Structure 1
Amino acid sequence: MVGTQVFDGERLRLARVAKGFTLDELGNRVSATRQYLNQLEQGIKLPTEEMVEALAAALGVTVRFFTLSARGGVSAEQCHFRKQRTTPVSVVSQVLARGTLLDGFVDRLDRALELPKVSFPDIPVKSTADIEDAAEQAREQWMLGTGPISNMMRVVENAGAVVSFFGGVSERVDALSIDRPRPMIIRSEAKPAACRLRFDLAHECGHLVMHKGIVTGDKVTEDQANRFASAFLLPRSAFIHEFPHSRMLNWTAIFEMKLRWKVSASAILRRAYDLKILTADQYRTGYIHLSKTGQRKFERYDDVIVAEEPELLSSAIAALEHAYPGAVRRIAADAGFEDDMFESVAGLGLPEGSGSDSTNVVSIMRR
């Protein structure tokens, strides 16, 4: 028992998996056997108060965390992984657990602040033409016109998505999106080239637009998301008009397009091939050139285009903390998070200071 509320073993499992601990690893931290912890998670046994405190300290949560009722957890069809077939089951479970916990905090934050309205359209697709139309419809809905997108990060955040990263996990799954009432996009913890990050964001945007309720990760859905990203960042009509039409590839013009559209030269080549501006031989020649000149991973001008940083979550936390000092820590505590777990699921540190002062408490039950 924890106070007058019953210890929930599923909450223990959720926190353990979110931290990436096996039963043995957690057992070593709290001086308990694997079998005993498994019985706690299964609800066969209840822990002592001393054990609850030890578990909370080991997992970076509050004692109250184990008694909270949780919203439905993130399910596989809501989580769009890159290369899902080769992603270890343990990593998938960890991401689902962290996504569930982050969703709980974001839901509480959503009730404390007026965050951007979620406006991702729901457009199922079957054909390539459907994907092109979906990208055009998304641009039209968000009033982006047909020119270059200056900041892809702001596009997805203005559409209502929270962008963050999971330390120690996201580098293994590259990029992913989670389709919840407030969608989440988890970016790579590593610092990719700015063009790569923008394409990854557009790719995840494609999943959120086209693949609601669909388990993704296979070649078909990944190819669809790639085609959406390409069409979204390089609209068909503008691209056909601007791409240099010649028998030999005009690299000067291609790199000028890269700087203007903030899209990699390799993605520009692929777009030209998809739109049948380039033949298969020309496309292959272009990739051979990039490879021979050492530009398959790091292209020319990659260091010129500035990487975009997420702003919504950090700005929301800063605004709330400025208006009501201590409110963010109170919301985190309401979700059952101590500093360590909050950083694991939000990719940010909690504001300094005490959350015990109740003179300026902001209600999280109303906007």
Structure 2
Amino acid sequence: MGIIAFHGERLRLARVALGLTLDQLGERVSATRQFLNQLEQGLKTPTKEMQAALADALGVAGHFFVLPATAGIRPEQCHFRKQRTTPVSIVSQVLARGTLLDGFVSRLDHELDLPPVTFPDIAAASAIEIEEAADSARTYWRLGTGPISNMMRVVENAGAVVSFFRGVSERVDALSIDCARPMIIRSEAKPAACRLRFDLAHETGHLIMHRGVQTGDKTTEDQANRFASAFLLPRSSFIHEFPRGRFLDWSAIYALKLRWKVSAAAILRRAYDLHVISADQYRTGYIHLSKTGQKRFERRDDEIPSETPELLPAAMKALEMTYPGAVGRLIAESGLGPDMFAHVSGLELPPARADGVNVVPLRFYQ
């Protein structure tokens, strides 16, 4: 017996989010590739038994396939590095997972008073324009010209949700998705806090400068890198503090690293971009970092405290502790099972409140 409604696009969305081919899904549910392709194309409708098997295999709720099909995340909304050389399958996974996570975050947004989205829209292309955009963003967010103590909180206070995609993050360092509630997806395997901070600033540059622009090429990546450098190391302060001399003062550079929480490599690049050091000095510094084994792990990396996402976990915890079962309800309304939710959010369900006391102020709730 056929079911009342079935949206084949939703089947494809869940399959691609898990990185499964039609053949791989077919092995899980004992169906042919051709049959599953016909389901996704809307040419056939599965039985209730097949729908249940598909839901179980994909980690979604049974009603996932009957929810209205949404437009989903478009390629121009998604920014991540080396997009032109990244396999199409990885791009598709990112878009599918972003769409599923956005469905949950949108529902959460209706339940809680999350920070308003305040990323300014500043088109910038030239070096001068990018410097001005970074300065304008700092001014807009009232960050001053000193070191940013916590870059994670900057983007979350601006309304972005920060999380990670398991598996995909091993192939992609970081990415951002420009939607109603912007999402920045990080790599769970980032080796150093200062590199994660740079990634967050890089994605902030995309969200500010490249709204509606297809990115991933060298030009837009260089622009985002320049923005990150200017945002984390403002020109006026950096020029004043960087140690000038015939030879690079590494002790002073590492002191700057600890103060500004930016890698030595990024400090050297910033100095070169601002013409504080010569091309020869920059090359010498780069070679030194390479020869001393500091291309991936730099000295004093472990002295910079790590930064972890707080907004989404705190919002889920607040909602669950005030209204037990609410997070599970939102996940169910999104059509996701616990496994798929963990897959697209990098988070587990918050623990249920054990007592009967509301420990979270109701002001968090709309």
Structure 1 and Structure 2 fold alike (TM over 0.5): yes
Q: Name whichever of 308-317 and 190-199 sits farther off.
A: 190-199
Which digits, 9 at most, give the CA deviation of each residue in 1:188-225, with x for residues without a partner? 02132111000000000000000000000001000000
Q: In the TM superposition, what is the alpha-carbon distance from 1:290 to its structure 2 partner?
A: 1.2
Q: Partner residue of 1:284?
A: 283
Q: Name whichever of 345-354 and 44-53 sits farther off.
A: 345-354
Q: In the TM superposition, what is the alpha-carbon distance from 1:353 to its structure 2 partner?
A: 5.4
Residue 15 of structure 2 aligns with an amino acid whose one-letter code is: R
Aligned residue for 2:123, secondary structure, equals: coil
Aligned residue for 2:331, secondary structure, equals: helix
Q: Partner residue of 1:24?
A: 23
Residue 283 of structure 1 aligns with an amino acid whose one-letter code is: Y
Counterparts of residues 1-367 of structure 1 (less than 5 Å): 5-352=4-351, 367=366
Between the aligned partners of 2:150 and 2:281, the Cα distance in structure 1 is: 31
Aligned residue for 1:80, secondary structure, equals: strand
Which digits, 9 at most, give the CA deviation of each residue in 1:128-150, with x for residues without a partner? 10000000000001100000000
Q: In the TM superposition, what is the alpha-carbon distance from 1:295 to its structure 2 partner?
A: 1.3
Q: Give ranges in structure 2 of 5+ residues lacking alignment.
A: 354-364
Between the aligned partners of 1:6 and 1:108, the Cα distance in structure 2 is: 23
Is the 1:2–1:67 Cα contact (8 Å) retained in structure 2? no
Is the 1:56–1:62 Cα contact (8 Å) retained in structure 2? yes
Between the aligned partners of 1:284 and 1:90, the Cα distance in structure 2 is: 37
Q: Name whichever of 182-191 and 201-210 sits farther off.
A: 182-191
Which digits, 9 at most, give the CA deviation of each residue in 1:2-52, with x for residues without a partner? 76x411111000011011110000000000000000000011110000000
Aligned residue for 2:162, secondary structure, equals: strand
Percent identity over the alignment is 72
Give the TM-score, by structure 2 length. 0.95
Between the aligned partners of 1:256 and 1:218, the Cα distance in structure 2 is: 34
Residue 21 of structure 1 aligns with an amino acid whose one-letter code is: L
Q: In the TM superposition, what is the alpha-carbon distance from 1:171 to its structure 2 partner?
A: 1.4
Residues 191/126 of structure 1: CA separation in 2 closer, same or farther (3 Å cut): closer
Is the 1:2–1:64 Cα contact (8 Å) retained in structure 2? no
Aligned residue for 2:76, secondary structure, equals: helix
Aligned residue for 2:60, secondary structure, equals: coil
Residues 151/2 of structure 1: CA separation in 2 closer, same or farther (3 Å cut): farther
Residue 60 of structure 2 aligns with an amino acid whose one-letter code is: V
Query: What is the aligned residue count?
Result: 355
Q: Give ranges in structure 1 of 5+ residues lacking alignment.
A: 355-365
Aligned residue for 2:122, secondary structure, equals: coil
Which digits, 9 at most, give the CA deviation of each residue in 1:47-89, with x for residues without a partner? 0000000000000001111011143210110000111122110
Residue 113 of structure 2 aligns with an amino acid whose one-letter code is: E
Is the 1:18–1:94 Cα contact (8 Å) retained in structure 2? yes
Is the 2:321–2:352 Cα contact (8 Å) retained in structure 1? no
Q: In the TM superposition, what is the alpha-carbon distance from 1:306 to its structure 2 partner?
A: 1.3
Between the aligned partners of 1:18 and 1:233, the Cα distance in structure 2 is: 33
Residue 50 of structure 2 aligns with an amino acid whose one-letter code is: M
Between the aligned partners of 1:82 and 1:2, the Cα distance in structure 2 is: 43
